[in-house]
Amino acid sequence: MTPVIGITTYEDHASWRGWSARAAMLPYVYVDAVRRSGARAVLLPPGGDDEEASATAASLDGLVVTGGPDIDPVRYGAARHPRTQAPTTLRDAWDLAVTSHALRLGVPLLAICRGMQVLNVCRGGTLHQHLPDLVGHGRHDGPPNGFGLHQVRISPDSTLATILPEDGFIEVPTHHHQAVNLLGDGLKAVAWEEDGTIEAVEAGPTELDGFSGFVLGVQWHPEQGTDPRLFTALAGAAAERAEAERATTEGTVLAPMI
């Protein structure tokens, strides 16, 4: 059974072939990465309410929460930094709701860049709003309209290390100026840049409601590189969920009518 993986999208104004209109958009590399992993890609436009977000998460075998603009700091109780981008209210609400319901339902989740920040905020965590203020360099940013490269060290005692079992540092594509500050409940840091910035999180200890299954956030952009292993791991977890759901459905026996 081919698993179905939802991918969150941008809500923005776009121009194409002489047309100019509000659009749901996504860099196509995400679709390519999901398809190459053996899964079927479904795009998830922002703007739905919580009920739609819950139903959407329930219909998926896996979820990719994608990169994009800064999260409104109101969402994690902070004042706006001068370098924080203007809020994208519809997308913030949708991404947070879909992520929350995916966690509740145990839908396998890969959260990328902004997506990792959404995951953290969803669990009550906070963000550094402008990394150069903290680390004193712009190594995370990349070029204005492209992606840079930097080194990441992965904890050997992590699920991520079973997917990317490299020793020492690995090189990853990057473009971000914000990052995880205080970790959200149920998450643990499992990768760091050389300057100590948290570069990946996964399911960890929780004081509230836990969540099951594949939960991974990376601050870098695996869809921009040539390494398919993170998407392959997500697709594998999604296929296992789809198979388990199918077995449960087929094994359900209706009680006889009296």
Point out the residues that are catalytic.
Answer: 113, 221, 223
Q: What is the DSSP letter of 139?
A: T
Neighbouring C-beta atoms of residue 126, cutoff 10 Å: 18
Whole-number Å distance between alpha carbons of 142 and 9? 22
Quote the crossing angle between the two packed helices 89-105 and 114-122, to the nearest 10°: 70
Instruction: Outline where the chain has alpha helix (H).
Output: 28-36, 50-58, 89-105, 114-122, 131-135, 159-163, 229-251
Q: Say if CB 77 and CB 126 are below 8 A apart.
A: yes
Q: Say if CB 29 and CB 224 are below 8 A apart.
A: yes
